[in-house]
A = this chain, B = another copy of it.
Amino acid sequence: MSTNVIEAINLQKKYGDVTALRNATFHIGEREIVGFAGDNGAGKSTLMKLVAGSIGHTAGQLLFAGKERQATSPEQARRDGIEIVYQDLALCDNLNVYENIYLGRELVSSVGGIRVLKHSAMRRGAHELLERLGIELTSMLDPVSTLSGGQRQMVAICRATAFQPKLIVMDEPTAALSVGAGQPLLELIRRLPGEGTAVMLVSHRLSDVLTTCSRVYVVRHGEVTTCVESATTSEATLLQLMEGHPDQEAGRPQGSGKSITESGPALPARS
């Protein structure tokens, strides 16, 4: 299991009396694209935030590259090579496009021992990153608060994909994107494993999830209930798994999709 970028065992997150997540057990292999599907409020974003270290879990284990982390923090996650596109984007509204993209990792050059920002290099870099996604913004220099919903989302995506991380967590990256902008993103995601990056993808566009990911974990009512191989799963099956129809609950998937629980190999013993 040492090849897993990340592994979670019975992860739990409570907000006071509210259990947002319980019994979340999953793993992401290196260079793997794994989807997470679930209803609204199922706990997907909570899970993603736990992985990115922006909140801490209240029980269970979280292992990065095989090593357990008791207390996670965003800094630690960044050092571990984990990037995330938050559902709420987490942009600094008063900063401009390239400042947001390079936030915390600004390009600097040393001038007489003092590290000076390379504004124009960052501007160019941001431009290139946006071009990878096939878009152009009216101004790289205005605060991102003046951008449209989709444009803001692209900025957040650029930030996460800019620094060749080991794992990118994407929480609904295509929600605000038009079809025209969504496709290049999905293609980009598919290219990422080739660049050494694993991806965790949360999306309500089930077709995107199924066509992009190798496996899909189903999150329901705060639990990671099952895992399916996307090659053998239809949208309808996935939907049923998400909504938890009684027959699905018992572990008998309908349609063409197969729950890996039944078809996959037995669980290897964990060291």
| Distance of A59 Cα from B177 Cα, bound (Å) | 29
Q: How far is the CB of A122 from chain B (nearest CB, A)?
A: 21
Contact partners of A18 in chain B: CB under 8 A = 138-139, 146
- Look across to chain B and name the residue whose beta carbon is closest to the beta carbon of A244: B180
Known: A137-B41, A146-B15, A175-B175. A182 touches B154 (CB 8 A): no
| Distance of A206 Cα from B205 Cα, bound (Å) | 12
Given A45-B148, A176-B204, A179-B204, 5 additional A-B pairs, CB 8 A: A39-B150, A40-B181, A42-B178, A149-B175, A172-B176
**Is A30 an interface position by the 8 A CB rule?**
no
Known: A135-B40, A138-B18, A138-B41. A178 touches B150 (CB 8 A): no
For chain A, which range describes its interface: under 10, 10 to 19, 20 to 34, or 35 or more residues? 35 or more
Contact partners of A45 in chain B: CB under 8 A = 148-149
Q: Assess whether A150 is in contact with B40, with CB atoms less than 8 Å apart.
A: yes
- Look across to chain B and name the residue whose beta carbon is closest to the beta carbon of A147: B41
Known: A45-B149, A138-B18, A148-B45. A38 touches B206 (CB 8 A): no
Q: How far is the CB of A202 from chain B (nearest CB, A)?
A: 10
**Is A151 an interface position by the 8 A CB rule?**
yes
For A64-93 the 0/1 string (1 means CB < 8 A from B) is 000000000000000000000001100000
Q: Assess whether B149 is in contact with A172, with CB atoms less than 8 Å apart.
A: yes
**Is A106 an interface position by the 8 A CB rule?**
no
Contact partners of A177 in chain B: CB under 8 A = 40, 204
Q: Assess whether B15 is in contact with A178, with CB atoms less than 8 Å apart.
A: no
**Is A239 an interface position by the 8 A CB rule?**
yes
Q: Assess whether A242 is in contact with B178, with CB atoms less than 8 Å apart.
A: yes
Closest 6 CB pairs of A and B: A40-B150, A175-B175, A41-B148, A87-B149, A178-B204, A39-B178
**Is A128 an interface position by the 8 A CB rule?**
no
Contact partners of A178 in chain B: CB under 8 A = 38-40, 42, 204, 242
Q: Assess whether A242 is in contact with B150, with CB atoms less than 8 Å apart.
A: no
Contact partners of A176 in chain B: CB under 8 A = 40, 87, 172, 175, 204
